[in-house]
Amino acid sequence: MIEYKNPKLLINKSNFQAGEICWRSPSNIAIIKYWGKHELQLPRNPSFSFTLNNAHTFTCLAYNLKETKGISFELIFEGKENTSFHPKIFKFFEQVVEIYPFIEQLHFRIETENTFPHSAGIASSASAMSALSLCLCTLERKLFNTLLNQKEFLQKASYLSRIGSGSACRSVYPTAALWGETNSISESSNLFAIPFKDEIHKVFHTYHDDILIVSKIEKSVPSSAGHDLMEGNIYAMNRYQQAKDRLNALLKALKEGDLVSFGTICEAEALTLHALMMTSNPSYLLLKPSTLSIIEEIRNFRTETSIPVYFTLDAGPNVHLLYPDEFKEIISEFITQKLLFYCIDQKYIQDIIGEGPSLASDS
Ligand code: DP6
C-alpha cells in the first residue's frame, strides 16, 4: 500500500526562494463512469476516461514563506479575486497537509482560468484539481529534489488530484486513463489512475469529442451529492458489478479498435448514470427534452449512415459526441444541420483527445 504521508517535507528557511509554478491541465470525459465513493474519494467501481485537449485549466501557484503556521492562500479566478471556491481548496489543502506539511509554511496566490465556460457540462473540477496538484508536485520536486522519476511524479499528482476530485486523478495522463481496481489490470489502483495510451488502438488516439450545450444552468444536484445518494440506491451493488464487467468488455474493444462495441458500452454507461440519478432517493433528473432529441437524432443518423458516432453524458444535460477523426467533415455537417437547433446560442464546443497536462512555467 502506497503511503505518501511524510513529516520530513518541511522547508529549511535559510535557503528558501519564493517562486511561481504554472501548469495547464485538461478535463476528461469518462466512458465507464465513476459514480459512488467512500472514505477519502475511493471509488466504488473502476472508471475509464479519454483525456481532452482544448478544455483545460491554466493554474499558476505563487508561493512565499510566511511567519505563522497554517493554511493561507488567495484565489484569483479568471482575473478576479474569488471566494466561492475557497472552501473546496481549503479542504483540499487540509486533506493533503500530512503529505505536504510545507503547505502550512507558505502563503499561496493561486491564479486560475478555464478555456471553457463555467457550467458547459465539462468537468472543471477535473482540470482544476489536477492542475493544482501538478503545481504542488512540481513544488515538492523543486524544494526537495524528489519525484525525479516521471512515472512517480504523475502517480503522486494523480493521487493528490483524486483527493481534490475523484475524476481529476484521470486527467494527468495523455490520451486515456484507468482509475480503480480491476482484476484484469494488475497495476490498477483505487488510490490513483494509471496511464492507458499504449494499450488502446490508434483509432482512439485521434478521437473527437464535440460537446453540445443544451443548458448552462447550474446543476440542481452537484456530483458530490449524487455520489452520496448511491449509498442508499437499491441498484448500487448491481451497478458496481456492471461497471466492472463493462470495463472488461470496453478494454477489449479499445484494444481491438472495435468501434461498435466501444460505442454501445459508451452509450449504455451514459444512460445508466442518469438512470441511477432517477432511481436515487430523492430522485432527480438532469436530462432535458433537448438531450433526448439529440440522442434520437444521433441514433437515427447512425442507422442511416453506419457511421460510428456515439454519445456520452456527464452528470448534466449536455451531450458529448464521440467519433473517429476520419468522419469529422460529415459529423460537422450533421451537427450544423440537425443538432445545433437544440443547442444554446446554436453553438457547440469542439474537442479532441489530448496529450495530457503540460508545465507552462517554473520560476
Ligand atoms: C459523472 O469527480 O466530479 O463525471 O469526486 O465528488 O469531485 P467528486 O466527483 P466528480 O464525479 C464525476 C462523475 C462523473 C463520472 C466520471 O467522471 O467518471
pLDDT in tens, 305-315: 999 999 999 99
The C-alpha atoms of residue 217 and residue 304 are separated, in whole angstroms, by 33
- Residue that finishes a domain, picked among 199, 228, 259: 199
User: Alpha-carbon distance 349 to 119, whole Å?
Assistant: 13
Residue 123, ligand 1, Cβ within 6 A: yes
Handedness of CA 12, 149, 358, 262 (dihedral sign): negative
Q: Report which ligand 1 atom has the smallest distance to the Cα of 165.
A: 7
Q: Are 154 and 195 in contact (CB under 8 A)?
A: yes
Claim to verify: residue 240 and residue 297 sit in the same structural domain? yes
What's the number of domains the chain is made of?
2
- Does 255 share its domain with 340? yes
- Residues 218-248 as b or e (16 or more Cβ within 10 Å = b): ebebebeebbebbeebeebeebbebbbebbe
Q: Are residues 63 and 190 in the same domain?
A: yes
Last residue of a domain, one of 142, 165, 199: 199
Phi, psi values for residue 176, rounded to 5°: -155, 155
pLDDT for the residue 117 = 73
Domain limits for position 43: 13-199
86 and 182 together in one domain:
yes
**Residue ranges of the chain with pLDDT lower than 70?**
119-121
Torsion angle, alpha carbons of 186, 190, 194, 196, to 10: 70
CATH code, domain carrying 77: 3.30.230.10
Beta-bridge partner residues of 56: 26
* pLDDT number for residue 215: 86
The confidence score (pLDDT) of residue 119 equals 62
Considering the domain architecture, whether residues 191 and 280 belong to the same structural domain is answered as: no
pLDDT at 159: 98
Q: Residue 229 maps to which CATH number?
A: 3.30.70.890
Predicted local distance difference test score (pLDDT) of residue 116:
82
Report which ligand 1 atom has the smallest distance to the Cα of 29: 17
Q: From the CA of 35, how far away is ligand 1's center (Å)?
A: 7
Q: What is the pLDDT of residue 221?
A: 84
Which helix (H) or strand (E) segment holds residue 139: the answer is helix 124-144
302 CB within 6 A, ligand 1: no
Residues 127 and 179 in one domain: yes
**195 and 209, same domain (yes or no):** no
Both 230 and 181 in one domain: the answer is no
Do 192 and 206 fall within a single domain? no
In a domain, 358, yes or no: no
Among protein residues, the one with the nearest Cα to ligand 1's atom 3 is: 223
Q: Is 28 in the pocket of ligand 1 (CB under 6 A)?
A: no
The residue whose CB lies within 8 Å of the most ligand 1 atoms, and thus the one to mutate among 27, 29, 31, 34, is 34
Give the pLDDT confidence score for residue 15 in this predicted structure. Answer: 85
Q: Which residues does residue 30 pair with via DSSP β-bridges, in sequence order?
A: 49
CA of 30 to the centre of ligand 1 (A): 9
